[in-house]
Structure 1
Amino acid sequence: MSSFAPDLGTVERGNVVDIVKVLVCAADEITSAGVEVMLDASELVHVVSDGGGARPDVVVVVVDGVVGSSTFALLRRLQGDGSTLASRAVMVADTFRSEDMLMAVECGVAALLSRSEMKEGALVSAVLAVSRGAALMSGRLQGILLDQIDRLRLQVLAPAGLTLSGIETRERDVLHLIAEGYQTEEIAKQLTYSEGTVKNVLYGLMARLRLNSRAQAVAYAMRAGVI
């Protein structure tokens, strides 16, 4: 294998280079074959087949026309199928509705390209970037996504006592006081809860997130940026 720059998205473990496995989904066989040829030109990418047993790292979805419910249904299937699970996707589409940004991200889309951008080097670069956790979207779409997330937080989560992390506001308050070193009785007084309520809040959180101790719960909340 020829040498390559590490910033192209490869991962070296000793002398072994991880090759990014990619599943291509397109509306027609001709488009699918063309995209596969583009990807196969890179030594860093290996194209796999749907249902072939190999688990893809990234899915490339090429949409003909407007991105619609069928595209999102496909992405959800690929996320939920244990044999072909791929949590991240590159979507190629010329017509994408800004109101679908949140739905796209929920379905694992981390990069959006137009068909005019679907050239060999750009597509491979997008796949490699997505495989290492990067996201590729225009500044305009990023702004739209942030606006949609903020509306979700204000209109849906906050009224239900939830945060974007999935931790309830009262769970956050209890964890914050635990992190400050307060005991159950002291937390109850601070929050005007009963001790039983404090214990139930902690039990519910730990059971839901499969945590084994208060220390783990606090660590989880800190990593999530809640406290």
Structure 2
Amino acid sequence: MVKVLVRVGDEFAKAGVENMLGGGEQLRLIPDGHSATPDVIVVVVDGVVDRGTFALLRHYQRDNGPATRVVLVADRFRAEDLLVAIECGVAALLSRSELREGTLAAAVLAVSRGAALMPYRLQGILLDQIAQLRQQVLAPAGLTLFGFETRERDVLRLISEGYQTDEIAEKLTYSEGTVKNVLYGLMNRLRLNTRSQAVAYAMRAGVI
């Protein structure tokens, strides 16, 4: 049973949205302020998504935790706000004009299972924005999209290839102490116990 919180400014419109969601056996609507933590929050905006919308989403994140996913329904959405929306937990973007019987419930169920939904035109824009973030912000700071420093990635790559600490230091022109400090900082941050765990973590993340 997926617990769903609905947030719509207009009570009449809210009743309509809840009616769209309330007919199935897989969804359970909970009121605002309920002790149960929602799995999905449905936020319906009249007009364009703005700063007030994101402030509301951040409020729900603080109250319910970052794992709660959001289905955001609006008349218009600005492409430049995509990364902010994702940061606020938005996993699905729907147009109010596209809402039909069953479509909203299907989106909520899909999001609760880990899916992400957004118009095709926004998917391409999002990929471009992520590429710009990597090139203009992360790379100059020596970081990757997964939060690894460039030198952490380089050290882990060489460990995965079987090199020892002294050999890694020679290849990267670091001191052995620097190599050890890089590993210690990484493993401490990610709460890993061994080099093998660090390599496995990086491989799962696609860093090496």
Which TM-score bucket, shorter chain as reference? over 0.9
TM-align CA RMSD: 1.2
Counterpart AA for 1:40? G
The one of 149, 158, 176 aligned to 1:195 = 176
1:52 aligns with 2:34: yes
Structure 2: where are the runs of 5+ without partners? none
Structure 2 CA distance for aligned equivalents of residues 214 and 76 of structure 1: 36
Structure 2 CA distance for aligned equivalents of residues 212 and 26 of structure 1: 47
1:110 aligns with 2:91: yes
Alpha-carbon contact 2:5-2:41 (below 8 Å) kept: yes
Aligned to 1:151: 132
Structure 1 CA distance for aligned equivalents of residues 14 and 140 of structure 2: 45
Aligned residues: 208
Counterpart AA for 1:149? I
Map 1:46-85 to 2 at 5 A: 46-82=28-64
Structure 1 CA distance for aligned equivalents of residues 166 and 67 of structure 2: 46
Aligned to 2:197: 216
Structure 1: where are the runs of 5+ without partners? 1-18
Going from structure 1 to structure 2, the CA distance change for 1:164 and 1:127 (only over 3 Å counts) comes to: same
Alpha-carbon contact 2:155-2:168 (below 8 Å) kept: yes
SS at match of 2:102: helix
Alpha-carbon contact 1:94-1:114 (below 8 Å) kept: yes
Structure 1 CA distance for aligned equivalents of residues 5 and 97 of structure 2: 21
Under a length normalisation based on structure 2, what TM-score does the superposition of the two structures give?
0.96
Alpha-carbon contact 1:55-1:85 (below 8 Å) kept: no
Deviation at 1:73, TM superposition (A): 1.5
Under a length normalisation based on structure 1, what TM-score does the superposition of the two structures give?
0.88
Counterpart AA for 1:159? P
Deviation at 1:86, TM superposition (A): 4.7
SS at match of 2:178: helix
1:24 aligns with 2:6: yes
SS at match of 1:167: coil
Counterpart AA for 1:55? T
Identical aligned residues as a percent: 72
Going from structure 1 to structure 2, the CA distance change for 1:85 and 1:55 (only over 3 Å counts) comes to: farther
Structure 1 CA distance for aligned equivalents of residues 152 and 20 of structure 2: 49
